[in-house]
Structure formats: structure tokens, C-alpha cells
Chain A
């Protein structure tokens, strides 16, 4: 499909997104779109990889993570790690099985799979435009 850029030059290169997704083709597609839209992108195939990245000096502004992932830590565990160790990071959680983030999971936004490229780009832009993290719990919605 032809790619249509979402014009919003003031936000280009504004944020670096850590994409945490264990489905390779989905991850490849998403990071490609985000790079084309001007975001910095770092990718991880598991929550464990994401934590490894977050423990370095790699600049990350937003973490977009799936809920269900293989390994000992899922997206919920990753979100809790982030809130404990990198509380200023913004978190977008995504799932194809849930309609909202799990109870008590401290995320900023939730987007259900399948999602459109436009929707996720717009969501990331809106988050990167906010100065402060607004933590939402699913039971607050």
C-alpha cells in the first residue's frame, strides 16, 4: 500500500519509542512506519529485552508494549518495572485479547489490536506532546 505521511512536522524526531512486540512481522511493520514518521525507534522482541535496553543510557521517551509476550515478564510486568525505575516514561499498552489494560496496570494509554497506523502515530504524537505522564489505571476509565 502507498504510504501516506501524516503531516505534523513540529513533532518529527520529537520522541523515541521503544516498541516491545514478540510478533516479528508486526514489529517490523510498526517500527518502519514510526521511523518514516520521524520518530526515533528502538525495538525489543520481549519484555526482558526491553528492560535490558531501559537499563542502559539509550534515550527512550515512550514505550509501546504488547501485553502477552513469551518469557517470565509480560507487558504488565514491564509496565510495573518502568513505573518503578523510569517513572517519567510514557507507556502505551496494546493487546488483541483485551479491551483495556489489565486492572491496576499503570499505563498512559491503551490501544486495541488490530490498530491502524494513523491511530497509533496520532496516539504517540499526542503523548509526546504532553509534558507530563498522566498515569491511567483501567479502573479509572
Chain B
């Protein structure tokens, strides 16, 4: 059994999937903030991406140098096959777990 991802690593993994070709740290951070409501620093995102990369769930590629602002290359991330598989499994597992549960927004039942 592979060990679980930390919540931030999982959020990052999903954000990379959602952003497709536009996945680098800045939009990933904003995606997590907008969708999951969690505010983290850019460096924390880098930490999570680094962990995903080392576990073979995502791979990084440097873009061509951009024409503007010093023109350095951005570090884009994509999911590997293994990463896509992981997401699918997480999703199924979660859906199975949550199936049939209705949560009342007022907190009572």
C-alpha cells in the first residue's frame, strides 16, 4: 500500500490536473485558494510539487524563456500516468465513502 499524500499534496495534485497546460506554482496556489479556500505560500506549493515529483506522480518541464520580465523559464508541471491513476483512485475511494450521506448545512440532523 503506497503511503497517503498530505492534504496539501493531494490538493496540489488535483490542481495540476485541473489546470492542464497552465500548471505552474502561481495559478496552482490561486486554484487551491479559490476552490479549496486554503491560503498557502508559493514555497509550500513548491514543497508539495517536489514531493509529487519525487513520487513519480507529476513531472516538471521548463518552458521556453518568456519574452517579458527578465525572460526566465517557468517551471510547468504535468501529471504522469501514475499521477492520473492516483487521482482516479482517490476520487473513487472518496465517492464510495461519501455515497448516501447528506450533510445539513445548519450542522444538525
Do A and B interact?
no
Seen from chain B, the residues whose Cβ lies within 8 Å of a Cβ on chain A are none
Seen from chain A, the residues whose Cβ lies within 8 Å of a Cβ on chain B are none
